[in-house]
Amino acid sequence: MFDIFSYGFVTRAIIVGALVSLCASLIGTVLVLKRYSMIGDGLSHVGFGAITIGAAANLTPIYFALPMVIISAFILLKISSNSKISGDSAIAIISSSALAIGITVCSITGMNSDLNSYLFGSIIAIGRTDAVFAIVLSVVIISTFFIFYNKIFAVTFDEDFARATGTKANIYNMVIALLTALTVVIGMRIMGTLLISALIIFPSLTSMRIFKNFRGVIISSVAVSLVCFFIGMFISFGFNTPAGATVVLTNLLMFILFSIISKILKR
Amino acid sequence: MSLIEIKNVTMGYEGVPVLKNLSFVVNKGDYLCIVGENGSGKSTLMKGILGLNAPIDGEIVYNNLDKSEIGYLPQKKMIQKDFPASVMEVVLSGCVKRKFHIFHNRYDREIAEKNISIVKMSNHKKRSFSDLSGGQQQRVLLARALCATEKVIVLDEPVTGLDPIATADMYSLIKEINRKGITVIMVTHDINSAVRNASHILHISDTAFYGTAHQYIHSEVGNKFLLTECPCDVCSHLPKRRGDNV
Ligand SMILES: Nc1ncnc2c1ncn2[C@@H]1O[C@H](COP(=O)(O)OP(=O)(O)O)[C@@H](O)[C@H]1O
Ligand SMILES: [Mg+2]
């Protein structure tokens, strides 16, 4: 069984995938509770557009995608906190446009063969640069999350109260948007553009079926996310199914399992 | 000793005023009740005092007080129904001020425990906030507000929607907090209990009234809005205006 590790790309995929799962579950809880899930989804589409452009221009795709996604994160945050325009539809316009740009670029430049891997993820797509990036950014994401844990809870639970008592809510909202952008960028290649946002929201939705306090939800989300990732990866190797989709399906099963347990506990 | 001075303040949204040219002073130890019709701008004024919204005109002066040192119990909005947070987590989130530290230290926890016991929720510390009754939730939010201040607390309609027993509990807690020396600024629709508990009343309307609760009872506007008749000499001689309100 363990001879799969003898391939460098498998080791890389597992390390990167586990880190992505960890980061996604942390940030996912906050996005779901702040009703920012749409931002995660929008960013993955922007990331897709940016990666195709980067690849077409012969840049290292991730170098190009990273700043693009970070800038978009701040724009999307601004849009969704502005009550004048309907945030959801504005985000939908941006994300479907980015998707359309990506698909067009792929077909013009004859990268159709890569399209599949961009959209649905690929474990062999993780190069050395991607792996190093993922490790560095994960450390940044995880440590930032825990350094600002209290503040993040405060602005998520009640932003007005947090601001009234001197917390710079705007800054922490930007931190949340930035962490989301970083998570999307490192997760996009392995999970795929269309699936990364599922990885972000699923573990926390699953955990909220059973856990009723914030810390419990965070810890459970991390555990659920990692367990689903490893189960998904082994199934994917065993049955030769696409990794990203298999991990998401495992998350779905876990969600159903938690829902059933919560029904039983309530009786 | 004056704590907060509201000087000719006009507040509003996007340049459109909802409150015009308001002036009054909150002194240390006061129990100020703010009354007025829905939409008259009470919550807007509270947000001005808290520094959440800036006045369009005029100024708010704080003496020996930073505006982030004001405890706040917001008007009940839909705090998300299923937000996963324990009572302890909610109350601790009131301790996010002053010194920065990564996790809450023992000092924060002691303050949180103390305030949870003041609002008589010590037996529910580990419970989920969303599972509590409306009255219990307001008490938890009161404890959170107390963690954020040692001086002033702003309460925006803290009893609206509570049953009579929960309301009475809330009032006695607020009275007790005020007796301990914390200045109370409370928005309420319950004028009768406002004049019973408060030291001062601000009535927001076209012509705002500000004065002691005693002055308010005898004032024209107070007389008009209070449903109970004041039997005193002054009032029984006032022309009767109540009839159309009762
Ligand atoms: N965020 C906002 N943007 C624009 N107008 C607002 C906002 N909040 C309140 N208002 C308006 O300001 C007026 C006063 O509101 P508010 O201060 O909430 O009144 P009260 O608390 O006395 O019921 C209302 O007419 C309301 O529609
Ligand atoms: Mg109000």
Going along chain A from its start, the domains and CATH numbers come out as: 2-194 (1.10.3470.10)
Query: Residue A149 is nearest to which of B50, B69, B102, comparing CB atoms?
Result: B102
Q: How far is B184 from B30, CA to CA, in rounded Å?
A: 6
Residue A30 C-alpha, separation from nearest chain B C-alpha, in angstroms? 11
Angle at the Cα of B52 from the Cα atoms of B47 and B54, rounded to 5 degrees? 90
Q: Which CA distances in Å does A209 have to A99, A198, B85, B87?
A: 32, 17, 13, 18
Query: Residue B84 is nearest to which of A166, A167, A211, comparing CB atoms?
Result: A211
Q: How confident is the model at residue B115 (pLDDT cuts 50, 70, 90)?
A: very high
Q: How far is A234 from B1, CA to CA, in rounded Å?
A: 71
Q: How far is A258 from A252, CA to CA, in rounded Å?
A: 10
Residue to substitute in B13, B77, B157 for testing ligand 1 pocket (most ligand atoms within 8 angstroms of CB): B13
3-class SS letters over A174-202: HHHHHHHHHHHHHHHHHHCCCCHHHHHHH
Q: Do B196 and B208 touch, CB atoms closer than 8 A?
A: no
Q: Which of A165, A215, A219, A220 to probe by mutation at the B interface, max B CB count within 10 Å? A: A165
Contact A157 B94 (CB under 8 A): no
B-contacting residues of A 191-210, CB under 8 Å? 208
Q: How confident is the model at residue A123 (pLDDT cuts 50, 70, 90)?
A: confident
Q: How confident is the model at residue B1 (pLDDT cuts 50, 70, 90)?
A: confident
Residue-averaged pLDDT of chain B: 88
Query: Residue A164 is nearest to which of B52, B82, B83, comparing CB atoms?
Result: B52
Residue B242 C-alpha, separation from nearest chain A C-alpha, in angstroms? 39
User: What is the mean pLDDT of the segment spanning A216-221?
Assistant: 98
Nearest residue in chain A measured CA to CA from B83: A33
Residue A163 C-alpha, separation from nearest chain B C-alpha, in angstroms? 7
pLDDT of residue B219: 80
- Encode pLDDT of B184-225 as tens digits: 999 999 888 888 999 999 999 888 899 988 888 888 777 777
Query: Residue B70 is nearest to which of A153, A164, A216, comparing CB atoms?
Result: A164
Q: Residue of the nearest CA to atom 8 in ligand 1? A: B44
- Is the per-residue pLDDT at B178 higher than 90? yes
- Encode pLDDT of A49-70 as tens digits: 998 898 888 887 788 889 999 9
Ligand 1: nearest atom to the Cα of B37 = 22
CA atoms lying within 13 Å on the CB side of residue A215:
14
The string over B99-114, giving b where at least 16 C-beta atoms fall within 10 Å of a residue's C-beta and e elsewhere, is: eeeeebeeebeebbbe
Structure tokens that stand for B219 in this block: 């004032």
Output the CA B42–ligand 2 centroid distance in Å. 5
pLDDT of residue A92: 86
Instruction: Say what percent of chain B tops pLDDT 90.
Output: 69
Q: Do A246 and A198 touch, CB atoms closer than 8 A?
A: no
Residue A205 C-alpha, separation from nearest chain B C-alpha, in angstroms? 11
Q: Which helix (H) or strand (E) holds A242?
A: none
User: What is the mean pLDDT of the segment spanning B86-102?
Assistant: 82
Long-range CB contacts for residues B5-9, cutoff 8 Å, separation at least 24? B5/B60, B5/B61, B5/B63, B6/B45, B6/B48, B6/B49, B6/B58, B6/B60, B7/B58, B7/B59, B7/B60, B7/B61, B8/B57, B8/B58, B8/B59, B9/B45, B9/B48, B9/B55, B9/B57, B9/B58, B9/B59, B9/B60
- Encode pLDDT of A26-37 as tens digits: 999 999 999 888
Contact A150 B71 (CB under 8 A): no
Asked if the ipTM is above 0.85, the reply is: yes
- Encode pLDDT of A12-27 as tens digits: 889 999 999 999 999 9
pLDDT of residue B102: 65
Q: Do A193 and B176 touch, CB atoms closer than 8 A?
A: no
Q: 């109350």: which residue's tokens?
A: B91
A125: three-class secondary structure by DSSP: coil
Contact B96 A154 (CB under 8 A): yes
Q: 């001075």: which residue's tokens?
A: B5
Strands B16-27 and B2-13: antiparallel
Angle at the Cα of A89 from the Cα atoms of A84 and A92, rounded to 5 degrees? 140
Task: Give the number of the ligand closest to the Cα of residue B74.
Answer: 2
Residue to substitute in B10, B14, B18 for testing ligand 1 pocket (most ligand atoms within 8 angstroms of CB): B18
- Encode pLDDT of A70-121 as tens digits: 999 999 888 887 766 666 788 888 889 999 999 899 888 877 777 778 888 8
Output the CA B40–ligand 2 centroid distance in Å. 8
- Encode pLDDT of A162-216 as tens digits: 999 999 999 999 999 999 999 999 998 888 888 999 999 999 999 999 999 999 9
A240: three-class secondary structure by DSSP: coil
CA-wise closest residue to A75 among A34, A51, A43, A47: A43
Structure tokens that stand for A16 in this block: 């990167």
Least confident of A67-76, A243-252, B50-59, B205-214: B205-214
- Crossing angle of helices A112-120 and A37-56, in 10° steps, is 150
Strand order in the sheet with B200-204: B70-73, B152-156, B183-187, B31-36, B200-204, B209-212
Structure tokens that stand for A95 in this block: 């994300």
Q: Which of B89, B91, B151 to probe by mutation at the A interface, max A CB count within 10 Å? A: B89
Q: How far is B143 from A170, CA to CA, in rounded Å?
A: 25
Q: How confident is the model at residue A5 (pLDDT cuts 50, 70, 90)?
A: low
Q: 């005693």: which residue's tokens?
A: B214
Q: Do B177 and B90 touch, CB atoms closer than 8 A?
A: no
- Is the per-residue pLDDT at B103 higher than 50? yes
- Is the per-residue pLDDT at A224 higher than 60? yes
CA-wise closest residue to A222 among A17, A12, A24: A24
Q: Which residues line ligand 1 (CB under 6 A)?
A: B 13, 18, 36, 38-44
Output the CA B117–ligand 2 centroid distance in Å. 28
Overall size of chain A counted in residues: 267
Angle at the Cα of B158 from the Cα atoms of B157 and B159, rounded to 5 degrees? 95
- Is the per-residue pLDDT at B77 higher than 80? no
Q: How confident is the model at residue B111 (pLDDT cuts 50, 70, 90)?
A: very high
pLDDT of residue A7: 63
